[in-house]
Structure 1
Amino acid sequence: MPNHKLTIYQLLPRLFGNKNTTNKFYGSVEENGVGKLNDITDKALAGIKTMGFSHVWYTGVIEHATMTDHSAYGIKTDDPDVVKGRAGSPYAIKDYYDIAPDLAVDVPTRLNEFQDLVARTHQNGLKVIIDFVPNHVARTYASDARPQGARDFGEDDDKTQNFSQQNDFYYIPRQPFVVPGGYNPGGDEFTSPLKDGKFDEFPAKATGNDVFSPAPSINDWFETIKLNYGVYYLDGKKTYFGHVPPLWYKMHHILTYWAEMGVDGFRCDMIEMVPVEFWAWIIPKLKVTYPDLIFIGEAYDKDQYYNYIHNGGFDYLYDKVGLYDAIRRLTCNEPGASTWEINAVWNYQCKGIDQHMLRFMENHDEQRIASRFFAGDANLAIPGMIVSATLATGPVMIYSGQEVGEPAEGASGFSGDDGRTTIFDYWGVPAHQQWMNNGKFDGANLSSAQKELRGFYSKLLNIVKDSEALSTGGFYELMIANEHQPGFDTMLYIYMRYTQQQKVLVITNFNRTERAINIKIPVELLTQFGLTGEAIFTDLLTGTTFSTADISAGIPVIVGGSTGLLLNL
């Protein structure tokens, strides 16, 4: 059976290739540096491939609003009063048909540099995922790179109407936009003629996080404007889908544009803020021409998972409010944390759709495991990563720097000291830079502990890639069979992944200290597998062997604290 399990490496090119170690608070691109698409070399991609990944998610490659002046290249300068961070948010798209100029060595040929990166990625046996941000765009959105004949967002809008099915945006007629009070764009040192607490937008447009006011607060997504998919929010979210809204066709054109460049998939931002009817229309339509395109949805409402998969057409959805949250509580040893929460994920929340759930312990929105806001120690994630990677056939994702224990210490500018690596500021990622080693990508500057941690991730992902049972096999939980065994507690999680040819017993220990337990396999499972008498198991992670004279009597094992076993029969 072929292995279709996705293993995804998420990276921001702005951060990934940045060799500058200055990391000045609110530093400019000249002071703090910026990674380029060309920095993601064959050597870097070979290192990612060797680690066991199948896909790279290039986050933040599409042009977005920034405080950096690129007017020398004919690019209109953005008003800093509606930009978050010196570098700007990758999720405030400025031109859907263009690449961020910061990421180019030669700005005028930035699209060529992206196409070269796509080709380079494919040549190294990896596939390309980029962001699709459907709900909102930057307040300064204006496409100067769109193909001839393509209409820009809002170009044909009737701005006198609060809502029209034909409009791309929502308007607040006769009222100007008001920049939130108290915002100091770029910090105290940043100066610009446009930094005056004002932004010329008349009439005001609705803000990205569904704020229909001319004066959003500083805590809103005030740098973005909401796109109109035919939902009249101020009339009880009444829908107008009798005729396909113009915006839908524009989005189809945009996604086709990137698919034609060789992009293999899209990670779709905040999909629940866009009607499922749009997804049900656009995904099948695109797959007629590009049948292998994959769509990953950022979703948080578990009651809507089934809807977005079976009606919306998504291949995969985030499993944040299910497995991530459960594993985070276990990793942090929170009071009341229990591995029965993992049971609840596959048995209730994701029942019947587990193969569609994308699992992770870090991404650009979440806190770093090694930060003091999460576990404070990257090694404490080992049992959680084993579960995330092996629980089901759905994808697993690692965020760049996670594999070397990046702690994301300190405030960087717009992004404060909160345990997250900034997506808003020009910044270097210290632990990742140690692996990057000034572009050699050989890990020479990693500590022995970092090398060991990266070795674990590489070993785990390659085991998953090569193991038929772990990548495509069935699942049988062994918690009930073992809950009365001496040594059992609810910080252990035990299950079997299996095919006809291979059986792997997974035992994870979220306790900080080792546990000894005799693992019982139910009679019906032993009968199904035809297992009797003596059996020998080898841990795929370490090569350690465990044996039993009579498998029906159990398999005695010792599991180290905050670790796990993948016992191959």
Structure 2
Amino acid sequence: MKKSLYQIITVSFLLFGMISCDKPNEKKESTLQMEQTHKVVVYQVFTRLFGNTNTTNKAWGTLEENGVGKFSDFTDKALQEIKDLGVTHIWYTGIPHHAVIRDYTAYGISDDDPDVVKGRAGSPYAVKDYYNVNPDLADDPANRMAEFESLIQRTHQNDLKVIIDIVPNHVARRYEGKNNPKGVRDFGADDDTNVEYNRNNNFYYIPGKSFEVPIALNEYRPLGGEKHPLSNGIFEENPAKWTGNGSREARPDFYDWYETVKINYGIKPDGRKDFEELPPHFREEDYKAHFDFWKNKDVPDSWKKFRDIALFWTKKGVDGFRFDMAEMVPVEFWSFMNSAIKMENPKAFLLAEIYNPREYRNYIHLGKMDYLYDKVELYDTLKNIMQGRGSTDNLIPIQQGLSDISQHMLHFLENHDEQRIASPEFVGKAEIAKPAAVLSATIDQAPMMIYFGQEVGEPAAENAGFGSPSRTSIFDYIGVPHHQRWMNKGTFDGGQLSQSEKELRDFYKRLLNFTVKSPALAGNYAEIHAFNRGNTEWYNDRVFSYVRWSQNQKLIIVTNFDSDKAFGFELQLPPSMIEAWELKDGEYDLEEKLYQNAQTNLIVSANQAKVRVDLKPLESWILQLK
């Protein structure tokens, strides 16, 4: 979905005239409830794939050929295994009803046209009906909402929080809200289609022109060329609407998000805002003040529609949302919607997919987001380091630049958009990510997220159809082989895993469980890498070190990113840390918390503090001061 993504985002900023960013070191009050004493760990599951035991994996295979996972596959046993991995929140990806190529007309659902659907199973980011769930996921499609409500209840009973997607920037090309609550008008139902823009239109239009299906590239054919009565190169839409990524062409490019149409939030085609803006001092205000600001304001119709959608799911027990392409929607809308969600549930988990660091503080302080993707800084830097193309020295300015908002930056090494670590296109071996996983989980107060199958080294090698190898397909019916071996035909006991896969999962289990229980990881941070680079013999830029501490726990964390070389040295604490930790001259025992097989101590003398470290390739030590 991200072809030319960064170009798309750049155009969106020009179109939407985003508010200028704060200065990098400017301190602002956090929207988070900072009494939180432990970290959050998010487990992203692609719901359609999680419980699928079918191993056929035919390219462009049907549901019957390749299988599909169901809500009911998330049994108490499965959920407890996820919880025991060290997880606090599950992000169920692909829940709202999106366009699919399967006949559900018996359930009152219209057929979708393969010419404007990516894949056979469809993209979860082309939502067709926000007031119901994907019928593929239910044992009885007629009872699909009740089955999802049962999953919410089971998840809560297993002491886990529920996150789902909301995609505010676009909807499916053929959106049909057949399950709208009483009084809710469908998207576009009241639009004036004779004009390109009207403040209360839900869509942008291209008057006088009909939509034309993009010209396929590289011999692409919908459904892999299989005959289908609706696959004829024609999709009726008159007048044509703007495409989801902002294309204003009646025939969008093949690499545009042609399966979707863009939502109008009151931004005129020339980029001017057709709504009231927040006063500058609202950067300092909490969600209650934001809610009061918008309470009696006249806002565009699309704002109200998406607020009502979010509150609908919140009332059903959903604990939070991951907002797709949040920066393509004006920040004022997020103030409006997120404050309404927080009024309903003050502890709601609100996560924005965002890629422009210049806008981070706007979306936190004005948009009232809890968390943002830390993709273009930490993730990209760690990927370069893992691939041998970057230095750990580059981590220092990232953490310095984000120091005022670091608790808001969600860390990950995999998600549905990124390449699998174990794929040849990334690094080809899942174990190479171990030091990066330790760093991502422990470097600051922010949440850590892992993607299902990451913990057992899933390489995403299948030719799924529309999806391509290296990323587990979000468009196709497919199996996830390494994950299926852990699932072991629904027993969820890892019975088919190889020894190396078991060891990898055990590593993640130890790391994540330590993460969620450690008070120091919700406390203070200081890097000691730069000090050691200048003062410690044999220390180098394949190693990175820092300290974390709270009143009752003090940690020294050091990682070796090199997959071939072991490193031994006397790691030093700078004098500032000796003072901060109030260390007296003497010898202090250290307990290694991750592998629990290292014995060492910290020796403090004459304003110097040293600890002997002997790291194997890809090894990390989390040393706790006793």
Name the TM-score class by shorter chain: over 0.9
Separation in 2 of the partners of 1:548 and 1:295? Answer: 41
Are the aligned partners of 1:25 and 1:413 in contact in 2 as well (CA < 8 Å)? yes
CA positional deviation for 1:125: 0.3
Are the aligned partners of 2:39 and 2:517 in contact in 1 as well (CA < 8 Å)? no
CA positional deviation for 1:549: 4.4
Equivalence for 2:460: 408
Are the aligned partners of 2:38 and 2:518 in contact in 1 as well (CA < 8 Å)? no
Equivalence for 2:47: 13
Q: 2:155 aligns with which of 117, 121, 128?
A: 121
Q: 2:228 aligns with which of 192, 210, 218?
A: 192
CA positional deviation for 1:553: 4.4
Q: 1:482 aligns with which of 528, 532, 542?
A: 532
Is 1:345 matched with 2:383? no
Q: 2:600 aligns with which of 536, 546, 551?
A: 546
Are the aligned partners of 2:38 and 2:517 in contact in 1 as well (CA < 8 Å)? no
Gap runs ≥5 in structure 1: none
Equivalence for 1:246: 301
Equivalence for 1:87: 121
CA-atom RMSD in angstroms:
1.1
- Number of residues paired by the alignment? 561
1:561 partner amino acid: P
Equivalence for 2:388: 333
When structure 1 is superposed on structure 2, of 449-458 and 337-346 the one drifting more is 337-346
Which stretches of structure 1, 4 residues or longer, exceed 4 Å deviation after superposition? none
2:525 partner amino acid: F
- SS state at 1:187 partner: helix
Separation in 2 of the partners of 1:213 and 1:516? Answer: 60
Are the aligned partners of 2:38 and 2:519 in contact in 1 as well (CA < 8 Å)? no
Are the aligned partners of 1:370 and 1:378 in contact in 2 as well (CA < 8 Å)? yes
Are the aligned partners of 2:49 and 2:479 in contact in 1 as well (CA < 8 Å)? yes
1:301 partner amino acid: N
Give matches, 1:57-456, under 5 Å.
57-182=91-216, 183-188=220-225, 190-233=226-269, 235=270, 237-242=271-276, 243-334=298-389, 337-348=390-401, 350-417=402-469, 419-456=470-507
Are the aligned partners of 2:203 and 2:241 in contact in 1 as well (CA < 8 Å)? yes
CA positional deviation for 1:550: 3.8
Are the aligned partners of 2:91 and 2:164 in contact in 1 as well (CA < 8 Å)? yes
CA positional deviation for 1:292: 1.4
Separation in 2 of the partners of 1:496 and 1:26? Answer: 49
Separation in 2 of the partners of 1:539 and 1:7? Answer: 21
- SS state at 1:241 partner: coil
What TM-score results when the alignment is normalised by the length of structure 1?
A: 0.97
Equivalence for 1:557: 613
When structure 1 is superposed on structure 2, of 25-34 and 284-293 the one drifting more is 284-293
CA positional deviation for 1:282: 1.2
Are the aligned partners of 1:168 and 1:227 in contact in 2 as well (CA < 8 Å)? yes
CA positional deviation for 1:110: 0.2
Separation in 1 of the partners of 2:460 and 2:475? Answer: 14
Is 1:473 matched with 2:523? yes
Percent identity between the two aligned chains: 48
CA positional deviation for 1:369: 0.2
Are the aligned partners of 2:559 and 2:621 in contact in 1 as well (CA < 8 Å)? yes
Are the aligned partners of 1:3 and 1:465 in contact in 2 as well (CA < 8 Å)? no
Separation in 2 of the partners of 1:30 and 1:2? Answer: 46
1:40 partner amino acid: F
CA positional deviation for 1:410: 3.2
Gap runs ≥5 in structure 2: 1-34, 277-297
Separation in 2 of the partners of 1:550 and 1:132? Answer: 53
- SS state at 2:91 partner: strand
Separation in 2 of the partners of 1:201 and 1:340? Answer: 53
Q: 1:511 aligns with which of 543, 562, 567?
A: 562
Equivalence for 2:56: 22
